[in-house]
Structure 1
Amino acid sequence: MDLSIILLNYKSRGLLRQCLRGILRAPPHATYEIIVVDNASGDGTPAMVAREFPDVRCIASSVNTGFGPGNNIGIRASRGRYVLVMNPDVVVLGDALEELVSYMDLHPDIGICGPQLVNPDGSIQYSCYRFPTPMIPMYRRTPLGNFAFARRAVGDYLMRDWDHRDEREVDWLLGACIVLRRSMLDAIGLFDEQFFLYFEDTDLCRRAWEAGHRVVYNPSVHLVHYHKRESAGSFMQIFTNKVTRVHIASGIKYFQKYWGKPLPRVHGS
């Protein structure tokens, strides 16, 4: 088996249907499997998959385990040399899947590869980043981000200082659509399950670099991503908005995990 496509679903049945149709319209020439993990959506997703996509395996979790743990369920059940972790709000374009497999075959030193993600209007999304500093979650989630010093820090974090149409090594890639080399996962482990949501992709890429595996952004392959990031709100969101609380809590766990440890590569090198 060459490629295992893991789709983690949580209350996104319509987007999942669109995603699966896109994959099946443009499947890779390589051998592949599709595994859907339904994270206790309660919206009839397993029945829909069984009815409309009988060749797709669907694993129904009885609880919402979070992003990393949910994807780990699919990864453990998969067989491919490469694992494509992809959100259900991503739509495959052209020969993207075949191109990703071929690219990984040509570059055996790459452990993680991410394609270019674009918005439905064709504009480029920022999907590769420098390793964050401790204040980045606060800058992105609260009005602190309106200050000039914070905007500069976030711009550096988002790598706005280079053309995102160029291929290059990056610190980490957004987990919405990444290809993982199986042999790398066997060596460094899967997503760290202490992160319910956010920072699990940052952590995985950091561990990849630490083990000598390259992390590369490849904009020659692009897919549509329908996700829209939430805007920063008031400081009260720390207390009233669950997503904000989870983001900041995951950031605290990440920096506790790596406190005092050197970065595996020079920022932005």
Structure 2
Amino acid sequence: NRDPDIGSVGTRQLNDDGSTPDTVRRFPNLLAQVVRRTSLRNWPLLKGIAEYYEYVEFDYFKSANVDWLQSSFMAISREVWGEIGGFDNRYFIFMADPDICYKCWELGYKVHYESEIVVGADGLRCSDGGFKDVFTNRILRYHIRDAFIYHFQYLLKPNIPTARKLQGRRSENINYEQ
């Protein structure tokens, strides 16, 4: 059964070792992204900021509506894809998933994590690394570049779209065609 209010669906992923990778996050903010990539994440007052963003308490064995899903396995209806206009080509790859999910919520569509559907994962995270890895990891530099584009794009918008707060009430007044 398809829920017409769901704009994007992601599934539980399973690594070869049986672990479930973290594929659900809360909407990013610049402070959380800096904290999680640096030794600041070890400071008691700041540790919670990174953990909140990373949604460490999320139960991957329970289906739920979420802020955003990693796009490594995401389904979006053709109708929603058309309304959003697809992926924003300014992103290399990494911040395209929170961008797409933000737009789903902003248009009034839910972003849903489905735990009952399980797909295989390779266990790799291309953007892993901390501050010092920026100098040796080109992919991490793309991730940081994309983060700046994302935060500039959403600088004057609320961190959490109003529709997310309202849990998916449709909004007809947003147009993404540029």
> For structure 2, which runs of at least 5 residues remain unmatched after alignment?
168-178
Structure 2 letter corresponding to 1:200: A
* Residue 115, structure 1, aligned to residue 11, structure 2: yes
Aligned counterpart for 2:129 among listed residues 232, 240, 248: 232
Structure 2 letter corresponding to 1:143: S
1:240 CA displacement: 3.4
* Identity among equivalent pairs (%): 32
Aligned counterpart for 2:20 among listed residues 124, 134, 151: 124
Contact 1:138–1:248 under 8 Å retained in 2 = no
Rounded Cα–Cα distance in structure 2 between residues aligned with 1:231 and 1:193: 22
| Aligned residue pair count | 162
Q: Which structure carries more strand by proportion?
A: 1
Change (3 A) 1:113 1:256: same
Rounded Cα–Cα distance in structure 1 between residues aligned with 2:84 and 2:64: 23
Change (3 A) 1:150 1:224: farther
Aligned to 2:88, what secondary structure does the other structure show? coil
Aligned to 1:184, what secondary structure does the other structure show? helix
TM-score by length of 1: 0.56
Contact 1:137–1:248 under 8 Å retained in 2 = no
After the TM superposition, which segments of 4 or more aligned residues of structure 1 sit over 4 Å from their partners? none
Q: Deviations over 1:99-135 (max 9, x none)?
A: xxxxxx4312111000001221212211111101102
1:231 CA displacement: 4.4
Rounded Cα–Cα distance in structure 1 between residues aligned with 2:33 and 2:138: 14
Structure 2 letter corresponding to 1:196: F
Aligned counterpart for 2:103 among listed residues 188, 207, 215: 207
In structure 1, the partner of 2:44 is 148
- Choose 1 or 2 for highest CA Rg: 1
* Residue 260, structure 1, aligned to residue 163, structure 2: no
Name which structure has the greater RCO, CA cutoff 8 Å, separation 6+. 2
1:242 CA displacement: 1.1
In structure 1, the partner of 2:172 is none
